[in-house]
Structure 1
Amino acid sequence: MRRMHIGLQVDDLDISIEFYTRLFGCEPTLRRPDYAKWMLEDPRVNFSLDTHGCGQPGSAHYGIQAETHGELADLRSHIDSAELPRSDQNDLVCGYQLQHKSWVTDPNGLWWEAFFTEGVVDEGYGTAEMPDRA
């Protein structure tokens, strides 16, 4: 089953974690000095906060998280059949996790990612670099 993703850039991670912990009624599932993530079941959302990137606080990207490689392949096929240009990033560390993803942009330039996460890694936050726009 797929999960919606919202990745929000914040100014002050600690204050934001306190706010969203109170809002969601639970602690983050993953927390690092510059990153926090909640894997919520109701609503089914992967909600993350970070202090990386080139946007201003409050800027965000959105996505659809696949639970398997096969689901990601299906999402990529759907993007292709919808004739939307996509940019792929595979085997990269992002948000302390090994991921494979495809990016598309909406008519207003808003980034959407379709992605599969293999697991948590300890080697650092990873890339904040976005691929070239397709």
Structure 2
Amino acid sequence: MKRLHVHISVDNIADSIKFYSGLFASEPSVVKTDYAKWMLEDPRVNFAISQRGAETGLNHLGIQVESAVELSEMQCRIEALQPGVEKEEGVACCYAKSDKYWVNDPSGIAWETFHTLDTIPVFGEPDKAAASGETPAGTGACCVPLAKPRIKLSAEGPCCVPNTQKSTTGACC
């Protein structure tokens, strides 16, 4: 069975753990100084947050599978949508070792499909990223090789999220 994965970059890990623990009525299954993860059954989601210097907000989305067979099936699906997907085998990311495939949706949102092989004591492979010039050691999002810069909506632009900072009179989604 597949599980939706959501990863959000946050400004304050402690405040965010408190908020999401209350929202989900559950404590995280993994807590580190810069990362937390909830493996929820209702809804069935792998929800992760991290505080590692990346822009605050949606980091990436994904589909976590339970076997190499399911990962192969997902690879076929995404290859049909976007030939030449980014493949990573045995990669260290988010305190786990995984095999995964990466694509960007038409809006540039990074999606991964992955099979977790094991837990590991480090967030990722910062030395590898630093050596390639992609990310300084210990910062950023090791996990998102294809992420495109996010476009921010202006404060006056349309949205579906209530803005508690100013009153709005326009219609929302």
Say whether the fold is shared (TM-score over 0.5).
yes
What percentage of residue pairs aligned between the two structures are identical?
Answer: 40
* TM superposition shift of 1:106: 1.0
Q: 1:89: how far off?
A: 1.2
Single out whichever of 73-82 and 13-22 deviates more from structure 2: 73-82
SS at match of 1:59: strand
Q: What are the within-5 Å matches in structure 2 for residues 11-90 of structure 1?
A: 11-52=11-52, 54=54, 56-90=55-89
Q: TM-score, normalised by structure 2?
A: 0.71
Partner amino acid, structure 1, of 2:123: Y
Whose strand fraction is larger, Structure 1's or Structure 2's? 1
- 2:9 maps to 9
**Alpha-carbon shift at residue 85 of structure 1 (Å):** 4.0
Q: Choose between structure 1 and 2 for higher RCO, CA contacts under 8 A separated by at least 6 residues.
A: 1
- Matched length: 131
Distance in 2 (CA, whole Å) between partners of 1:64 and 1:53 is 24
Partner of residue 150, structure 2: none
Deviation string for 1:61-85 (max 9, x for gaps)? 1000011111101100111223444
TM-score under structure 1 length normalisation: 0.90
Q: List, as ranges, runs of 4+ consecutive aligned residues in structure 1 with deviation greater than 4 Å.
A: none
Contact conserved, 1:3 with 1:65, CA < 8 A, in 2? yes
CA distance in 1, matches of 2:40, 2:81: 29
CA contact (8 A) 1:85 1:104 kept: no
Gaps of 5+ in 2: 126-140, 148-173
